[in-house]
Structure 1
Amino acid sequence: MELRHLRYVVAVAEHRHVGRAARALGIAQPPLSRQVAAVEEELGTRLFERTGRGTIPTVAGEVFVAHARRILEQVDVGAEDARRAARGQSGTLRLGIIGSALIELLPGLLARFRTTHPGVGVGCRELSSAQSTAALVAGEIDLAVCRGMPRGPGAERLQAVAVGHDQLVGICSRAHPLAARGVITVDQLRRQPLVLTTSDDEPSTVTALAELLADRDATLSTTHARDVHTIIGLAACGFGVGLLPSCARGLVRPGTALLEVEPVVPLPDLCLVHRAETDSPVVDAFLAVTAEHCPGVGSRLRAVRGRAG
């Protein structure tokens, strides 16, 4: 017995007439009559009484039709769920992120994705860039937001596209001599007590800062912090000039002053990373929303995928 047989029986029951049911189904009446008779023969019982009032379901027919309707409804639901999954409209997206991605990029991007894909569950894990690379390669997450291109074992199996550009900015206490100027030069940075990250969350940023401060006076104090919030807090306490990505400008709090660094010092890009061989519709959907949300990402994403192809 096939699904079409269930549809035939349900149609006859609904129309109470084989001819009308055949027209609704778009088939001829004789084949429909033969198919319904074949179902009755397979079941070993009559499903319909042929009367002057029409083709009326028997007691057995009413029971069978009720089950047939439920089966057909489940098939329709399954088909629609499958189509939704193929469009990336259902399922789960597992993200690995660094903390600074939560400052500017992700709040708006995730809000947009949830609006356009409400059936997709989103899970986030805060991971260092190295941890995200390992988790992607192992298949534990679907996408990662890192600072700089992925490195380490398996990185060649990943694709990355820049989704955010930052430059270096400073932050200091309002009592700091440079607070009123709002500007600090790279040479001045090398002669200031500093608060900076040594976190393995953003190794490329640590490397960039190390290169920038290579001529720094070794006698000056350096205070290390895990994240931007700690850097801001320590700078507010007078431990020195904190160094931040420019996306953290909005986190400046009372009692502190933002310092623009001159000349401009670009930091490694914020990158969205995924497995090159992924065939996940949910990942494709998130990349498409990212391309719409972040200027220039669409062309960069096509270029990255073109090179992989």
Structure 2
Amino acid sequence: MSHIETRHLRYFIAAAEEGSIIAASRALNITQPALSRQIQDLEGSIGIRLFERHAKGVQLTDAGLSFLQDAKQSLQELQRARDRAHRIAQGQTGTFKLGIMPSYLASPVTLEILQHFRERNPEILLSIEPLLSLPQAQAIRSEELDGGIMAWRTPDDATLSGITLYRETFVLAVPAQASTQATRPRRLADVAGEHFVWFDRERSGAQHSLLMAACARAGFAPHVVQIGTDTPTILGLVAAGMGCALVPASARLHSPPTVAFVALADLAEGVDIEFSYLAARRSPRIQRFIESVRHVAGRKPGVAL
């Protein structure tokens, strides 16, 4: 025999614990000669005697006693490996890699989904990557992320599927000291002459286009004096007095106290915030996260599933 199989270890452990080949063969439900051959094969494979044979049964040698501990440990580790593999196959363990737009990390819906998923999948490590929508979509397609909470998923992109969480609208962000009841704007046209902090066209093309179109309908092109890569950055620039900005309404959740928000009557544009994932990839872990998304989103009025 050139190698040791798990059955040899099981047979050896049974013989050692029973102290008798006859008793072990009964416990294992195999014949005594077959068990004896398996023990002899094991001893031949490792090149030492594991048992001393005598009239009343068998007794472990010193080497056999040491091998017994290792054999038990090996079988336990193998069983743990099998259990881990089964849990991974069923999506019960492993790592779930989730992208989230930085401005939606503190969203109540996002937090409720993460809490629901954690409570029901305690052995899955949740890895969060703050990313804008475009790099999220690219990372999901390359399977660097399992999914993402994003906006602006291209509707005709068949590679990604999405579940709508809620509808995001936009508001005007201004330095708090500039916001008083007497001067507060009511419509987009009221801020036509203001300096604006704007979203990066390269990184947030869809958001850039949507807000530019809204200003065009109001009869002006915004005077952009500063560019921000994401909503938190833009809010920081507004707080520093660089200008005003059109930002998602959820920006209130993580805004500096020196920024005020104004709802404008003609700024009705909105965008769906979604959980997106690769349409062709439905691993058990992704399915488990989808269950949490549907549980939370299904209780929100007006949410499409």
- Superposition TM-score tier, normalisation by shorter sequence: 0.7 to 0.9
Residue 225 of structure 1 and its aligned partner are, at CA, apart by 3.2
Tell me the distance in 1 between the aligned counterparts of 2:217 and 2:232.
Answer: 27
Deviations, residues 213-259 of structure 1 (Å, cap 9, x unaligned): 11344476334431223333343444543211111112343343221
Tell me the distance in 1 between the aligned counterparts of 2:197 and 2:190.
Answer: 14
The answer for the alignment partner of 1:260 in structure 2 is 263
Are 2:232 and 1:229 equivalent residues in the alignment? yes
Residue segments in structure 1 that go unaligned for 5+ positions in a row? 304-309
Residue 112 of structure 1 and its aligned partner are, at CA, apart by 5.0
SS of aligned partner of 2:79: helix
Closer/same/farther in 2, CA of residues 109 and 199 from structure 1, 3 Å limit: farther
Specify which of 72, 75, 81 is matched with residue 72 of structure 1: 75
TM (normalized to structure 1)?
0.76
Runs of 4+ in 1 over 6 A off after TM superposition: 180-183
| Structure 1 vs Structure 2 CA RMSD | 3.6
Judge conservation of contact 2:11–2:39 (CA < 8 Å) in 1: no
Are 2:275 and 1:272 equivalent residues in the alignment? yes
Larger mean CA deviation between 141-150 and 10-19 belongs to 10-19
Closer/same/farther in 2, CA of residues 230 and 139 from structure 1, 3 Å limit: closer
TM (normalized to structure 2)?
0.77
Closer/same/farther in 2, CA of residues 60 and 220 from structure 1, 3 Å limit: closer
The answer for the alignment partner of 1:85 in structure 2 is 88
The answer for the alignment partner of 1:306 in structure 2 is none
Closer/same/farther in 2, CA of residues 61 and 254 from structure 1, 3 Å limit: closer
Specify which of 202, 205, 209 is matched with residue 203 of structure 1: 205
SS of aligned partner of 1:278: coil
Tell me the distance in 2 between the aligned counterparts of 1:229 and 1:193.
Answer: 18
Q: Which aligned pairs between 1:32-111 and structure 2 lie closer than 5 A?
A: 32-42=31-41, 43-44=43-44, 47-49=50-52, 51=54, 54-104=57-107, 106-107=110-111, 109-110=113-114
SS of aligned partner of 2:263: strand
Q: Which amino acid aligns with 2:170?
A: L
Closer/same/farther in 2, CA of residues 72 and 230 from structure 1, 3 Å limit: closer
Closer/same/farther in 2, CA of residues 139 and 253 from structure 1, 3 Å limit: closer
Residue segments in structure 2 that go unaligned for 5+ positions in a row? none
Tell me the distance in 1 between the aligned counterparts of 2:75 and 2:273.
Answer: 48
Tell me the distance in 1 between the aligned counterparts of 2:169 and 2:101.
Answer: 17
Tell me the distance in 1 between the aligned counterparts of 2:152 and 2:57.
Answer: 74
Residue 78 of structure 1 and its aligned partner are, at CA, apart by 0.6
Tell me the distance in 1 between the aligned counterparts of 2:222 and 2:75.
Answer: 76
The answer for the alignment partner of 1:307 in structure 2 is none
Closer/same/farther in 2, CA of residues 220 and 281 from structure 1, 3 Å limit: closer
Q: Which amino acid aligns with 1:158?
A: L
Q: Which amino acid aligns with 1:76?
A: Q
Judge conservation of contact 2:170–2:270 (CA < 8 Å) in 1: yes
Q: Which aligned pairs between 1:1-309 and structure 2 lie closer than 5 A?
A: 2-17=5-20, 21=24, 25=27, 27-28=28-29, 31-42=30-41, 43-44=43-44, 47-49=50-52, 51=54, 54-104=57-107, 106-107=110-111, 109-110=113-114, 112-114=116-118, 116-150=120-154, 155-176=157-178, 179=181, 184-189=186-191, 193-218=195-220, 221-226=223-228, 227-262=230-265, 265-296=268-299
Closer/same/farther in 2, CA of residues 266 and 295 from structure 1, 3 Å limit: farther
Tell me the distance in 1 between the aligned counterparts of 2:59 and 2:211.
Answer: 83
